[in-house]
Structure 1
């Protein structure tokens, strides 16, 4: 989901749990690559492999390399009840480590309450991107935009929402849904920004002595702004960055948001990875400790600016406030293993030895 980033500001460094027999010292010249057996994957037999196969099918047709295209054709012809056999026949588990501790976080698609017309309740506009903001970099600041400078009255409003803090976090996430009064939704996605650097509101609250670092969260910020509307508005404008949106009409509002592969994400089966180490669209086995520990086969269908390294991943938890609460609690260690076509997996091992 383009523009995502809130997890990056809340992440804590955690120690990874290295599995028995894996390398502990990583050479400076590159990562260590280990080929595993499926018996080495803790909890593999108990997973819902059919759910993983359905998620894999959703994006594998967009993978361009010949070995992936061949496997995708087999995946689409495979009965779901044979999903485990399919993965074990055509893939090899590969562990890639670079010495950085494993870290799993979670993300979600925000859902805001809004209206297609301005009312006393719904009075904070969600804007399309003005043409001049694409050319003039940087363009107006958040403060100027929120005051209507150069943008109000031009018909650029997609909708109006009821919560300015939720709107700012929507801009950080980069996409979301707006729940309208009649119960229907519209989905919006990142279109661009005003060219100003993001400044963390949470960090600014800590700097001003309002809260300690461990106390800051989206809910805490939102409640403080509501209690202090004048100071709150000024606090939000400490962040000069402003994101513009576009309405997404080519995906049902009831489906998941689009990830980096331009396909809808599946809650708790789609994961954001670093494509420098994990091919977009590849199955990824997750062994996550901590909050709602997971032993699950997911698919690397998204990326993120904070997702860097072979043992870093962001689990998509779904849409709406419930998913947001779940996502905010995930800051855990564990192990990430990518499933690769057999020939590709052993070719990587040979390259690593040379």
Structure 2
């Protein structure tokens, strides 16, 4: 998916699951990892499913003995591994905070997704990952200790602390035709997108007759709120409940289909810089728009970047899977992250540590996505899921981060 991250001043807030409350982060620096979407979300500090998936509980132990002392704790550590944007420093399993407390089985569905497209280092281990899917947490943890070596991720100047933000998948209503209030179009990529770099700006798309002609027939759906459209552009994808011309309704996913290659500019930051608001949350922006309807275009045109979408059908009568990340596999709420690919390869299991202040996280996650704002050695964007609760979390989450990659021995 490709998303942007928005960062603003964040006030302490109570824990929440998925989305829509003060989406502070969302307004500042974000072009999401590749996408972001799902259905209802359920999480707080322990987001574990997508959409409406409930938080899983640990399966009963299958009789496996508790994990032995780490092999690494009694052997010589391997050498440092150097990546383009990071260095990996080997550590012992005992140095990973919370490793005995996390319900690692909740990360196994995400790991199985990555094993659908395994990179070379993981091809041999993925059959074992699949065999362990139904095993106990202790068996899974024991296998990880035996097969994987933890490495602390650092920058080349040996800084081991970075930044964690979050993204999510909006769930919106739309019309297939421009009817009543539903008059804000979302477009598929125009035919000449690849021939012009960058393509036209948001303002040119709305005011230039030549550009408008190039977009004619590319309208996928229409939203009723231009700010909701901006949220979708920032997150990179979303679930949309579409009313068809015959009145039927169906849920589809609008997935990331490209951009106009213009730079991302935060409308929340612009409002703050102009002294027009003090709190750049989405509710705050919508409130300003309600009081200044004649300045809506002026505001939205501050961000010249536009996302083009492609429509994806969803399975009938089932919880939709997460949107596909840059690895090409569906994301799992609370267990997928976007990373800088030059620091951590796609499909890598990662131990994530973020102590708050919004929510404390010590958990196993999978590197499955990327984003234009997700740059640097110790940098991650946490996929919170879909819907309002996930949006609330994504809007607040901006806190210190440490990462350890778990790499085959």
TM-score by length of 2: 0.72
CA shift, 1:282, in A, is 0.9
Could you say if the C-alpha distance between residues 32 and 5 of structure 1 is closer, same or farther in structure 2, counting changes exceeding 3 Å?
closer
Moved more, 44-53 or 264-273: 44-53
* 1:105–1:327 Cα contact (<8 Å) kept: yes
The CA deviation string for residues 305-341 of structure 1, in whole angstroms up to 9 with x for no partner, is 2222232111100012220111111111142111111
Residue 62 in structure 1 maps to residue 117 in structure 2? yes
Distance 1:90 1:189 in 2: 36
* 1:61–1:69 Cα contact (<8 Å) kept: no
Residue 244 in structure 1 maps to residue 308 in structure 2? yes
Distance 1:32 1:239 in 2: 35
Aligned to 2:387: 320
What is the count of residue pairs matched by the alignment?
Answer: 322
Aligned to 1:130: 190
Aligned to 1:227: 291
What SS class does the counterpart of residue 4 from structure 2 fall into?
A: coil
Aligned to 1:348: none
Distance 1:277 1:134 in 2: 29
Determine which of 77, 84, 95 is the counterpart of 2:141: 84
* 2:170–2:388 Cα contact (<8 Å) kept: yes
Could you say if the C-alpha distance between residues 287 and 241 of structure 1 is closer, same or farther in structure 2, counting changes exceeding 3 Å?
closer
Listed as ranges, the matches of 1:107-122 within 5 Å are: 107-122=167-182
CA shift, 1:83, in A, is 1.7
Aligned to 1:171: 233
Aligned to 1:41: 96
* 2:122–2:408 Cα contact (<8 Å) kept: yes
CA shift, 1:118, in A, is 1.9
Aligned to 1:95: 152
Aligned to 1:190: 256
Residue 273 in structure 1 maps to residue 330 in structure 2? no
Distance 1:39 1:187 in 2: 42
Distance 2:388 2:195 in 1: 35
CA shift, 1:248, in A, is 2.2
Aligned to 1:311: 378
Distance 1:125 1:298 in 2: 35
CA shift, 1:231, in A, is 1.0
Residue 4 in structure 1 maps to residue 4 in structure 2? yes
* 1:224–1:232 Cα contact (<8 Å) kept: no
CA shift, 1:304, in A, is 1.4
The CA deviation string for residues 134-190 of structure 1, in whole angstroms up to 9 with x for no partner, is 323344332232357343683221111111011012112211111235663111122
* 2:85–2:342 Cα contact (<8 Å) kept: no
Aligned to 2:108: 53
Any unmatched runs of 5+ in structure 2? 7-24, 30-83
The structure that is helix-richer by fraction is 1
Distance 1:30 1:176 in 2: 31
* 1:53–1:83 Cα contact (<8 Å) kept: no
* 1:96–1:337 Cα contact (<8 Å) kept: yes
Could you say if the C-alpha distance between residues 113 and 47 of structure 1 is closer, same or farther in structure 2, counting changes exceeding 3 Å?
same
* 1:226–1:232 Cα contact (<8 Å) kept: no
What SS class does the counterpart of residue 165 from structure 1 fall into?
A: helix
Aligned to 2:403: 336
The CA deviation string for residues 80-129 of structure 1, in whole angstroms up to 9 with x for no partner, is 32322221221111102122632111111122221222211211111112
Moved more, 333-342 or 217-226: 217-226
| Deviant stretches of 4+, over 4 Å | 29-32, 250-253
* 1:272–1:314 Cα contact (<8 Å) kept: yes
Distance 2:333 2:275 in 1: 37
Which protein, 1 or 2, shows the higher relative CO under an 8 Å CA cutoff with sep ≥ 6? 2
* 2:28–2:269 Cα contact (<8 Å) kept: no
